[in-house]
A and B are shown apart, each in its own frame.
Chain A
Amino acid sequence: AQTVTQSQPEMSVQEAETVTLSCTYDTSESDYYLFWYKQPPSRQMILVIRQEAYKQQNATENRFSVNFQKAAKSFSLKISDSQLGDAAMYFCAYSLDDKIIFGKGTRLHILP
């Protein structure tokens, strides 16, 4: 069964600093998709970044980048130049077929 593990329930980072959120997953498939979603207090889930497993190049979206290690089944999210608006719950997710499997989430606090 596919599982997604986020080992850091909460993290804090100083504004303008860099923070890395960890995620590991378990699957026997070779072709799949990985995502990081952000859920601010408004509860709306927002896609931050997407990685296709067959692509070796790490995805990047402005201040957000991932470190995808397929053999290690690791998919961490790096947020550079942290901003107050980055404060939210972050979910790592794995997608195969018709469903998305989410980790338990990491609550990120931004310290001014």
Chain B
Amino acid sequence: KAGVTQTPRYLIKTRGQQVTLSCSPISGHRSVSWYQQTPGQGLQFLFEYFSETQRNKGNFPGRFSGRQFSNSRSEMNVSTLELGDSALYLCASSYRTGGTGEAFFGQGTRLTVV
């Protein structure tokens, strides 16, 4: 069974640009969550999608958005990039929503904003 796939693995963007990250969950999983990992703040929850609906959102500005498609693949978008957005972005998929099942993580997308 293929794991969670995140693309691209590495990305360098300039301040003010926008970026789209992609996550393909494990086959059969309908829940996809996104996390931002930085040395200072650690792992922080961005949002969670289940069956194309955003069910929960973390405390991030509106520049951070996401969506989920009918095949459960998810994208997250960050507009007007700031230097502080440099981070490892992790995606996790679960069979069920509600945080009860174990989450399987992808290898992440390392975003560097210059």
Contacts and interface: CB of A to CB of B under 8 A. Distances in A.
B107 to A, nearest CB: 5
B42 interface: yes
Interface stretch (B15-23, B43-51, B60-68, B70-78): B43-51
A101 B55 CA distance: 16
B105 interface: yes
B98 A97 contact: yes
Interface in B24-57: 31, 33, 35, 42-45, 48, 50, 55-56
Contacts of B90: 45
16 contacts: A42-B107, A43-B108, A44-B106, A45-B90, A95-B99, A97-B56, A98-B56, A98-B97, A99-B45, A100-B33, A100-B35, A100-B45, A100-B92, A100-B99, A102-B43, A105-B42
Interface of B: 31, 33, 35, 42-45, 48, 50, 55-56, 58, 88, 90, 92, 97-100, 102-108, 110
